[in-house]
Amino acid sequence: MRKAGILFNARITDAEILAQTLAKKLEQSSVSAWICPASDEAKAKEQLAGTEMILSLGGDGTMLRTARLVASEAIPIVGVNLGNLGFMTELSDQEVLDKIPRFLKGEGWNDERAMLQVELPSPAGPSMFHALNDVVVGRGAIVRLIRVKASVNGQPITTYKADGVIVATATGSTGYSLAAGGPILFPNAEEFLLTPITSHLGLTAALVLSSEAVVELEVQTAHEARVSIDGQVEFPLSSGDTIKIKRSPYTTRLLRIQPQSFFYHTLLEKLGGKER
């Protein structure tokens, strides 16, 4: 390995100090390292060329931002948890200095995750984004239900009368979709979910959709609605706007060193219910 990047959450105390410590350790192993706040996406993108591994220092939010940044380059990500839940991260801040040399030796395996591609309406033509967790079409500041007409592969399914609708990947199935009553998918599944948020009458159950499905969500509302991508990128929507969502051509590659059966242990540990 010749070049690695370190993206850190600048809002977390000591994250930048750990980033600098890791950069020095990498350089001692003859690996060129660059450091950048995860929020400075433009600066980070300038340094991606030739990068063979990304260290993401923060929590799940930092991992989501990192995944979107590097998706088109297919760069493996090692997540270091400095946050609270850390469901997607691989190492703690206490482990990273000891275990990074193992990755440099080629140990570990790629945990490949499906992503979503979302097309948003805009005056200049559709804008395209990618998400690792989910895309949410929901109400705006006014606390009233909105109507969302949902179609799959051109076939109308239902018109939800709800706070909103979530389209979630397998990775996102343990997040907002789970809180809204959706099922948990195995993390490497390519299928994705269509989950209503507090739906009033009509279809209330989440749907598991084929990896080849194309979902269209048309907003019908007399007041503001919004679309949220991974809970980090948001845009207002007007009545009649249609969002198109399908599986992304990109995937997120999470570099791991723990056993491949880690998911079930992590699920119980992070979400509760672990047997004693």
The verdict on 43 and 146 lying in the same domain is no
Q: What is the average pLDDT across 35-50?
A: 95
In sequence order, the 6+-apart residues with CB closer than 8 A to the CB of 122 are none
For residue 276, being part of any structural domain is answered with: no
**Same domain for 120 and 104:** no
- pTM for this structure? 0.92
- Residue 35 sits in a domain whose CATH number is 3.40.50.10330
75 with 47, same domain: the answer is yes
Residue 228 CA to residue 232 CA, distance in Å, equals 7
Residue 227 counted as domain residue: yes
The pLDDT value recorded for residue 272 is 66
The structural domain count of the chain equals 2
Model confidence pLDDT, tens digit, residues 232-268: 999 999 999 999 999 999 999 999 998 877 777 777 7
Judge whether 93 counts as a catalytic residue: no
Range of the domain at 201: 115-249
**Per-residue model confidence as pLDDT tens digits over 69-106:** 999 999 999 999 997 777 788 898 889 999 999 999 88
Tell me the β-bridge partners of 228: 136, 234
61 in any annotated domain = yes
If asked whether residues 129 and 243 sit together in one domain, one would say yes
Question: Are 176 and 127 contained in the same domain?
Answer: yes
Mean pLDDT of 39-43: 93
pLDDT band, very low/low/confident/very high, at 208 (cuts 50, 70, 90) = very high
CB burial of 51-76 (b: ≥16 within 10 Å; e: otherwise) equals bebbbbbbbbbbbbbbbbbbbeeebb
**Same domain (yes/no): 147, 121:** yes
Same domain, 161 and 232: yes
**pLDDT at position 167 over 70:** yes
14, 40, 60, 111: which is the annotated catalytic residue? 60
What is the arithmetic mean of pLDDT over 33-49?
Answer: 95
